[in-house]
Amino acid sequence: MSPVSAITAALLLSLPAASMAQGTVAVECADAAVARDRVTFDLDFNRQAVSGAFPISWAWFAPGSVLFGHGVLINGDYHTTQSYTFDRATGMLEACDFATGGEQACGRRQCSTSQGDYRR
């Protein structure tokens, strides 16, 4: 496990579970610069799970945010390839794609929902 992954895992394990809203909320996040660049996902507060049309291998529901992403095991080490941090108070999503290897690995998107409340 890389040092960054180990630190992230330790921080996630130390956070207390929050009381969550009930049910599933569909969230859509758009990049202001590229209107067609959208990320959509469902937050299932009952199961504390995230689903989307992209690979998600882990999720963590913290008091003010939801962290989720995708990782792979390479030669015995776990590597996060994509990570997403959804700030429930501001409705912003930070999406990072570490597989690209570029300087612009992370970007922010404003999110909205047509149902439910993700701010509880």
Each residue of 43-56: pLDDT tens digit?
998 999 999 999 99
- Which of 7, 111, 120 lies closest to 64 in space, CA to CA? 120
Please compute the mean of the pLDDT values over residues 9-13 and round it to a whole number.
39
Token representation of residue 55: 């690979």
Answer yes or no: is pLDDT of 118 > 90: no
- Per-residue pLDDT of 76-95, as tens digits, reads 998 888 999 999 999 999 99
Look at residue 10 in the predicted model and tell me its pLDDT: 38
Check: pTM over 0.75? Answer yes or no: no
Q: What single letter denotes the amino acid at residue 44?
A: D
